Amino acid sequence: MVQTVTLKKIGGSIGAIIPKDMAGRQHFAANDEIFVVERPDGILLTRVDPTMQDALNAYAELAKENQAAMAALAKL
């Protein structure tokens, strides 16, 4: 679904108000953290998945600690 929103000045930033029906379908609520992904064709807003974020953080720690092993695996 495509809807038009108006950008508004909020302090030193610019914000977009997501229509209530669209926010509800996406399970967005006030004060939720979301990813804002800049792409060549525009901006993508997507929910933060805590499980995925935890997994990505754990991988980043392990990769940093095991750089030699990761380099060897990358050659396979």
The per-residue pLDDT for range 22-56, each reduced to its tens digit, is 999 999 999 998 888 888 999 888 887 767 778 88
- Residue from 31, 32, 35, 3 nearest 18 by CA: 3
Q: Using H for helix, E for strand and C for coil, what is the string for 29-69?
A: CCCCCEEEEEECCEEEEEECCHHHHHHHHHHHHHHHHCHHH
pLDDT in tens, 7-18: 999 999 999 999
Look up residue 58 and give its two tokens: 């754990």
Task: Provide, rounded to the nearest whole percent, the portion of the chain with pLDDT above 90.
Answer: 39
Q: Is the pLDDT of residue 20 over 80?
A: yes
pLDDT computed for residue 24 by the predictor: 93
User: What CATH architecture applies to the domain 7-74?
Assistant: Ribbon (2.10)
- Residue from 10, 30, 8, 11 nearest 20 by CA: 30
Average pLDDT in the 63-67 region?
86
Q: Is the pLDDT of residue 60 over 80?
A: yes
